[in-house]
Structures are given as C-alpha cells and as structure tokens.
Amino acid sequence: MSHAIDEQLLRRFDVPGPRYTSYPTADRFVEAFGCDDYIQALEQRRAGSMALPLSLYVHVPFCESLCYYCACNKVITKHHSKSAEYLRYLSRELELQVEHFGRGHSVSQLHLGGGSPTFLSDVELADLLDMIKRHFNLTPGGEFSIEVDPRTVTPERLRHLQQLGFNRLSFGVQDFDPTVQKAVHRVQPAEQVFALVQAAREIGFESINVDLIYGLPKQTPESFRHTLEQIQQLRPDRIALYAYAHLPTRFKPQRRILSAELPSPSEKLSMLANSLAMLGEAGYDYVGMDHFALPEDALAVAKRQGRLHRNFQGYSTQPDCDLIALGVSAIGRIGATYSQNAKTLDEYYDALDQGRLPIVRGLALSRDDILRRSVIMAIMCQGELDFEAMGDAHLIDFKNYFARELERLGEMVAMGLVKLNDSSLEVTEQGWYFVRAIAMTFDKYLQSDQDRARFSKII
C-alpha cells in the first residue's frame, strides 16, 4: 500500500462518524430491549446453534489513577478489595448466563478489557480464568488477549498471564513524550514499556499490540514524530492509532484538559499523515480503521486472505460469532440482537442481587439492519462487495435496494477511493484510509440523522 496520503482528502473527510464495531451502533440501543429479550435470544441459540464457537468479553472497570483523555467506563480506586467483590458478582452473572445456554461451549476469542484488567492481582486473574474455564472450553488456536497498563505489570506478571493462557497483549502507551504524559496524567517512561515488550517476546506471546493516540494536549507534529520513531524501534506486531476526540460535555475526565493545549486541526491532520507515511515505510500493513500490523502478523495475513472480521473489540482473525459479554457496561451480541449491561456498579450489583441478568438496554435487529450490517462489514473487512452474492444472501435486488447509496458513492469514485461497476464495489488502495466514510454511505440511521456530534471524527 502506498505510504503517501493526500492531506486535502484527510481534511475533506475530517468529520464525525461511527467506528462500526457494530451495526446498528450502540447509540441506537433502546431500554425497551431488556433481560427477557436477551434470555429469549440465548434460548434460541441453544436450540439451533450449539456447535458454533463463542467470543467472550469481560469488562474490568478498575484503574488506580485517572487518565484525563479516557472515555471508557471505569472506576478509579486504590482499594483493591473492590475487585474481590466484583469477581464474586461476575461469577453470579456467569452462572445466570449458563442457566440459559448451557455449559461447555467452545470459545475461540477471549478479551479482557477495562479499565485496567491488570488491576486484578495474580491470584484474582487466576480465579477469573478458572471461573471461565469451568463453564467454557477455550479452543486451541484461539485469540486470548488482555489489555495491559504498563504501570501495573512486571516481566513476572507477564509470565503469569502467559501461563493462564493469554497469547496476545495490548499495551496502553498513547505517547512516549513526558510532557504529553504529564498533561494527560499518565506518566510511564518509554524504557519501562521497552523492557516489558522485550520480556513479552522472550516469554512467547504470539502478538503484541501498542495503542497510540494523536491529538492529545501538548502534542505537536514534531513530538509525535519522535514517539513514532521510538515505536519503529519497539516494533510491536500490531499498532492501534486512534484520534483523540475531545468531548468534555460527555466525558467528565476530559474537563481537566485545557482546550488551548490541544493541537490545531491542521496539526492533528499532519500527525496522521506523518504516521501513515512513517508506519508504512517501517513495513507495517494498514489493516484499516486505525489498525496496522506487521506483514507476518495474523491480522495482516487475514486481511490479505479475505478472512478479516470485526466485532466490539475491533478487527479480528476469528470468524464472525456470538459474543457473551460479562461485567459492568459490557456489550454482547446473540444472533440478531445486541445487549448492554448496567453502566454503574450499584445498578450492576443490584440486578444480580435480585437474581436477574444486569441488562438495561439493547436492540433486536430488523431485516434491513441485518442486511446493512452485512454490507458495512464487507466493506470494512474485505473492502469489496459482490452485488449479486449479497442480494442472493438477503433475497433482494441489490442495485435497486441501494440505488440512492450507489449514486452517493459517485463523488468517492471520482476521488479514486472506490471502484464501482455494474456488478461490484471495491475499495481502492487509497480508499482504505477512508473506509469509515465509505461504510457510512450505507448507514440508514445517519441518512436520517444529521446530528453526528456524538461520534468521534473519522480521521
């Protein structure tokens, strides 16, 4: 893929839009969908798809200190006794889930997110994995990953994670610059991260991801270029490069960030353009949607082979499957439904104390939702659509059903982002950098809703 990117195009598409970890997106969930609807979906799955593997997500909300940029659901505390209580409630939730869909299902993908999952002690992490393994079978060759705060682990702890069965790590780095780290209240020396990544390689983790954020306070194109030079030396298997979305009215921690200290829109675009060029020159493949991987990494291989998938954790090599979500605020998917747990510990604990699953909202997808989900995921993951095949799969005449959408793609065709003919759509090499914008063309909800401010910008 070419390493050059037209900054004019970046500026043209610097607009808000969904990340499409699901379609419809989570802002469309409704409180009318509740626990009974979820149980019905579980029992339908039990009746018809026992052999299909599952994905499992566990949300651990605790962090010892507050990162000012963070928009995740988290609980800031130094009292580690809180995690023991939380694990007891996770066990209750899991027991209630199993009552409705049975034990022994295969899990091909497990992800611990947060918060900081490594807030848990080694013993608690072992207890959590034992709890999971009592109810599920973790399949050989699966993806078993955990998000790691470098400030909370040592090489010995990493070895413990590997012994528990984790084969992928994701380190939250964001930026190596000490001034930026201080501005966002997340100080972690680069030397510490380098030592941990080296230890993880020696231990034998299959893939190591590093998260970066551009657009943070005190960042400049020059300072972020230096961070990227350090990343080139670190050479993680995967890189997730996110744009910081400053939404202080929605996310209270961001009110501690001074708007005057944020880089200008032009500086932010310059950081992105530099990042795309530098990571490409360093040998990383652009997977899509802010994700990069070394050519030999399973994610890059899956993209080349047309086996890429996408779920609530982002891009995945695992086949599309149902997702069981555990913990406060966690979002799951069963069949043609989405569901989300209570967002506060009090609500989450109260529901489980009453003997019911803590689901507070969700969505049952319509036929149109399922069709558009297939279209958007094909664009985001394979970068192409065969109109006849998609039409046959959903019993529609594709070109008639999406006549307006195909017409709207004309501008992107003229820009060289999409190739369009009578039978197919293909995202071009340059178009991959704007794949969110291409997918948005097929989003029915955005077509009727011009208020997109709740989304982060797509660039």
What is the tens place of the pLDDT at every residue in 174-210?
Answer: 999 999 999 999 999 999 999 999 999 999 999 999 9
Cα 397 to Cα 394: distance, rounded to the nearest angstrom: 9
What is the tens place of the pLDDT at every residue in 92-134?
Answer: 999 999 998 888 899 999 999 999 999 999 999 999 999 999 9
Same domain, 27 and 10: no
401 is annotated as contributing to ligand binding: no
Q: Is residue 454 part of a domain?
A: no
Give the percent of the chain with pLDDT over 90: 80
57 is annotated as contributing to ligand binding: yes
Q: At residue 2, does pLDDT exceed 80?
A: no
- State the pLDDT at residue 455: 61
Using the Cα atoms of residue 328, residue 288, residue 66 and residue 269 in order, give the sign of their dihedral. negative
- State the pLDDT at residue 220: 97
Confidence bin at 13 (pLDDT 50/70/90): confident
Same domain, 107 and 35: yes
Closest CA to 284 of 273, 305, 300: 300
Could you list the residue range(s) of the whole structural domain that residue 385 is in? 1-18+366-446
Domain limit, last residue, from 272, 307, 323: 323
Q: At residue 445, does pLDDT exceed 80?
A: yes
CB 176 within 8 A of CB 225: no
- State the pLDDT at residue 8: 78
Confidence bin at 458 (pLDDT 50/70/90): low
Same domain, 76 and 176: yes
381 is annotated as contributing to ligand binding: no
Same domain, 157 and 239: yes
67 is annotated as contributing to ligand binding: yes
114 is annotated as contributing to ligand binding: yes
359 CB-near residues (< 8 Å, 6+ apart): 33, 34, 35, 38, 339, 340, 341, 342, 351
What integer is the mean pLDDT of 338-359?
97
The token pair at 408 is: 């709207």
158 CB-near residues (< 8 Å, 6+ apart): 148, 169, 196, 199, 200, 203, 205
What integer is the mean pLDDT of 230-254?
95
Domain limit, last residue, from 298, 323, 348: 323
Q: At residue 48, does pLDDT exceed 80?
A: no
Give the percent of the chain with pLDDT over 70: 95
Same domain, 223 and 303: yes
Q: Annotate 413-432 with DSSP letters as a single string.
A: HHTTSEEE-SSEEEE-TTGG
Domain limit, last residue, from 259, 289, 323: 323
Cα 215 to Cα 124: distance, rounded to the nearest angstrom: 36
186 is annotated as contributing to ligand binding: yes
Q: At residue 418, does pLDDT exceed 70?
A: yes
Among the listed ranges 47-51, 85-89, 312-316, 351-355, which one has the minimum average pLDDT value?
Answer: 47-51
Amino acid identity, position 108 = S
CATH number at residue 223: 3.80.30.20
What integer is the mean pLDDT of 208-222?
97
Cα 257 to Cα 254: distance, rounded to the nearest angstrom: 5
Q: Is residue 338 part of a domain?
A: no
290 is annotated as contributing to ligand binding: no
Q: Is residue 355 part of a domain?
A: no
Q: Is residue 264 part of a domain?
A: yes
**How many domains, the chain?**
2
Closest CA to 434 of 391, 394, 380, 389: 380
203 is annotated as contributing to ligand binding: no
Confidence bin at 457 (pLDDT 50/70/90): low
Provide the 10 A C-beta neighbour count for residue 422.
6
280 CB-near residues (< 8 Å, 6+ apart): 1, 2, 3, 286
What integer is the mean pLDDT of 237-258?
94
Question: Cα-atom radius of gyration of the chain, to the nearest Å?
Answer: 22
Same domain, 99 and 225: yes
Q: At residue 449, does pLDDT exceed 90?
A: no
Same domain, 303 and 391: no
- State the pLDDT at residue 11: 79
Same domain, 65 and 10: no
- State the pLDDT at residue 360: 98
CB 234 within 8 A of CB 211: no
Q: Is residue 75 part of a domain?
A: yes
Same domain, 285 and 374: no
Are β-strands 207-214 and 238-243 bridged in parallel, bridged antiparallel, or unpaired? Answer: parallel
Confidence bin at 313 (pLDDT 50/70/90): confident
195 is annotated as contributing to ligand binding: no
Q: At residue 85, does pLDDT exceed 60?
A: yes
Q: Is residue 63 part of a domain?
A: yes
Amino acid identity, position 148 = V
What is the tens place of the pLDDT at every residue in 258-287?
Answer: 999 999 988 998 999 899 999 999 999 999
Average pLDDT, the chain: 92
Q: Is residue 44 part of a domain?
A: yes
Cα 396 to Cα 139: distance, rounded to the nearest angstrom: 37
CB 64 within 8 A of CB 77: yes
147 is annotated as contributing to ligand binding: yes
35 is annotated as contributing to ligand binding: no
What integer is the mean pLDDT of 51-77?
92
Q: Is residue 451 part of a domain?
A: no
Query: Could you identify the residue written with the tokens 């991801």?
Result: 209
245 is annotated as contributing to ligand binding: yes
What integer is the mean pLDDT of 444-454?
67
What's the pTM?
0.92
Same domain, 128 and 100: yes
Amino acid identity, position 245 = A
- State the pLDDT at residue 53: 83
Same domain, 6 and 35: no
CATH number at residue 381: 1.10.10.920
230 is annotated as contributing to ligand binding: no
Cα 177 to Cα 189: distance, rounded to the nearest angstrom: 9
Same domain, 243 and 371: no
CB 195 within 8 A of CB 234: no
